[in-house]
Amino acid sequence: MINVDISNIWGSVSLPDLLALEKEVSAAHAALTDGTGIGSDYLGWRDLPTAEPTQELERIRKAAERIRTDSHVCVVVGIGGSYLGSRAAIELLQGANRNVGKGKGDPQIFFAGNSLSTRHWNELMHLLEGKDFSVIVISKSGTTTEPAIAFRALKWMLERKYGTDEANRRIYAITDPVSGALHQMAEENRWESFVIPPNVGGRFSVLTPVGLLPMAVAGIDITEVLQGAAEAKEAYNNLRSFENPVWLYAAVRNLMYRSGKAVEILESFEPGFRMFGAWWQQLFGESEGKDGKGLFPVTAEFTADLHSLGQLIQQGERNIFETMLRFDAPEQKCTIGSDVNDLDGLNYLTGKTLDFVDEQAYLGTLAAHVDGGVPVVTMDCGELNARKMGELFYFFQLSCGVSAYTLGVNPFNQPGVEFYKRNMFQLLGKPGYES
DSSP string, 87-99: HHHHHHHH-TTTT
Rounded to the nearest 10 degrees, how much is the dihedral formed by the CA atoms of 91, 296, 366, 272? Answer: 10
- Of 129, 307, 317, 434, which one is the catalytic site residue? 307
How many Cα atoms are found within 13 Å in the side-chain-facing hemisphere of 429? 0
3-state SS record for 23-53? HHHHHHHHHHHHCCCCCHHHCHHHHCCCCCC
**Residues 71 and 104: beta-carbon distance below 8 Å:** yes
Angle at 138 between CA 134 and CA 143, to 5 degrees: 115
- Of 286, 288, 301, 322, which one is the catalytic site residue? 286
Q: Reply yes or no: is the peptide bond before residue 378 cis, omega within 30 of 0.
A: no
Residue 117 φ/ψ, nearest 5 degrees? -85, 125
CA distances from 408 to 94, 240, 290 (A): 38, 20, 10
* CA R_g for the chain: 23
188 tagged catalytic: no
Looking at the chain, how many residues does it have? 435
According to DSSP, the residues that pair with 353 across neighbouring strands are 335
Question: Phi/psi zone of residue 185: left (φ > 0), alpha (ψ -120 to 50 degrees), beta?
Answer: alpha
421 tagged catalytic: yes
Enzyme catalytic residues = 286, 307, 421
